[in-house]
Amino acid sequence: MFLKEYITDVVTGVTSLLKGMRKTGYYFTHPKEIITEQYPDNRATLLLSDRFKGEVVMPHDANNEHTCTGCTACELACPNGTIKVVTKFETSPEGKKKKAIDTLVYRLELCTMCNLCIVACPSDAIKMAPNFEHSVFDRTKLTKVLNQPGSKIREGIE
C-alpha cells in the first residue's frame, strides 16, 4: 500500500512539473518566438522605429555638404535653449558676402526630444536619429557640434 502511494505521488509530481514546464520547454526549442529582447547582446539586430526621437543630427552628403543656412529658426523654436547657431560671413569668389554657419552647437543634456526644431527648419537640415545610448563619463561630452569640420552649404540652398 505504502509503495503504491509513494509511486503515485512521484508520478503526479513529475506530471504536474512537466505540465508547468511545457511552456518553458516550448520556448526553449522555439527561440524565435520569445518576446524578451536580450538587450545589450542584440545591438546589431535591434530595430527601432525610423521615427524614434533619440537625438538631433545633421545629415551630410558624400561631398561633406549640408543644407543649413544659419537662419536660427531651430534656435528660436527650441523651448530649452538646446541649440545655439554661431554664424559667420563667407566671401564668395565674386566678392559677395554670404551668411553661413560657423558651428551649430547642440546640447544633448538639455534636449527633451520635442521635435519642434525639426518642424521649424525650412531647409530640412537637421533630423532626429534613433540613437539612444547617450551615457558618457563626462558631461562636457554631451555638448556636440553638429556640422562636420570643413563642411559647407550645398549649392543652390538659400
Partner 1 sequence: MYNQTEIIKDTSELGADGELVINMGPQHPATHGVLHLVVTLNGETIKKIEPHLGYIHRSIEKMCESLTYRQFIYVTSRMDYLSSHINNLGCALLIEKGMQIEVPDRAKYIRVILSELTRIASHELWLGAMAMDLGAFTPFFYAFREREMITDIMEDTCGARLTMNYIVPGGLMYDLHPDFQKKVKAFITQFKSKVTEYEDLVTNNIIFQSRTKGVGILSAEDAISYGCTGPVARASGVSCDIRKIYPYEVYDKVEFDEVLETAGDSFARYMVRVKEMNQSIRIIEQLIDNIPEGDFVGKTKNVLKLPKGEFYTRVETARGEFGVYIVSEGGTTPHRIKFRSPGFSNLSVLNHIAVGGMIGDLMASMGTLDLVIPDIDR
- Give me 3's grid cell: 509503495
The one segment of 25-33, 61-69, 82-90, 110-118 that binds partner 1 by CB under 8 A: 110-118
- What is the spatial distance between Cα 83 and Cα 68, in angstroms, rounded to a whole number? 13
The one segment of 5-13, 51-59, 81-89, 100-108 that binds partner 1 by CB under 8 A: 51-59
User: Is position 32 an interface residue for partner 1 (rule: CB under 8 A)?
Assistant: no
Half-sphere CA count of 99, side-chain side, radius 13 A: 9
User: Is position 52 an interface residue for partner 1 (rule: CB under 8 A)?
Assistant: yes
End-to-end CA distance of the chain: 96
The size of the interface with partner 1 (CB under 8 A), counted in residues, is 15
- What is the spatial distance between Cα 118 and Cα 68, in angstroms, rounded to a whole number? 12
Q: Which residues bind partner 1 (CB under 8 A)?
A: 35, 48-49, 51-53, 77, 79, 112-116, 119, 128
